[in-house]
Homo-oligomer: A and B are copies of this chain.
Amino acid sequence: MDPGAILAANGMSITRNRVNILNTMKLATVPLSGKEICQRLREGCDKSTVYRTLNTLYNKEVLQRVIIDHEVKYALRSGDRPGNGHDRDHLHFKCSSCGKLFCLTETEVGDYQLPEGFIKEENQFLVIGKCNKCR
């Protein structure tokens, strides 16, 4: 789905900033922070606009929030390319040497049983370690 269609489908005005932000998200292979999105937007955009847009898209369930270490990041819920969508609660890996982030979409984490009466809504699973370049 192209940015214009996503915005229209969610009753949001189609603006240049929003289209640029969505295009940036579509190109990303890992979740991005507000700051990282600001940096990637060639055509300048105020950070308040970026954060407001991310919040709105998150509330409309277009974006997923992913917490990496203690940074808040965002990813499209449905991506066009593998590793681009974040529909499933997949595992993330952050390298403690180079800081690079990886979406481990192929890695299966076994299921677990919560205590009686607890209901899972979302997994926030992050593995910290050394990536294949840094080990």
| Complex CA–CA separation, A127 to B112 (angstroms) | 11
B109 near A112 (CB under 8 angstroms)? yes
- CB-defined interface of A92-135 with B at 8 Å, one 1/0 digit per residue? 01001000001010111111111111111111111111111001
A111 near B110 (CB under 8 angstroms)? yes
Q: Given B71, B109, B117, B127, which contacts A124 in the complex, CB threshold below 8 Å? A: B127
Which residues does chain B contribute within 8 Å of A121, judged by CB atoms? 96, 128-130
A27 in contact (CB, < 8 A): no
A127 near B107 (CB under 8 angstroms)? no
A124 near B115 (CB under 8 angstroms)? no
A129 near B114 (CB under 8 angstroms)? yes
Kindly provide the distance from the CB of A119 to the nearest chain B CB, expressed in whole angstroms.
4
A112 near B128 (CB under 8 angstroms)? no
A114 near B104 (CB under 8 angstroms)? yes
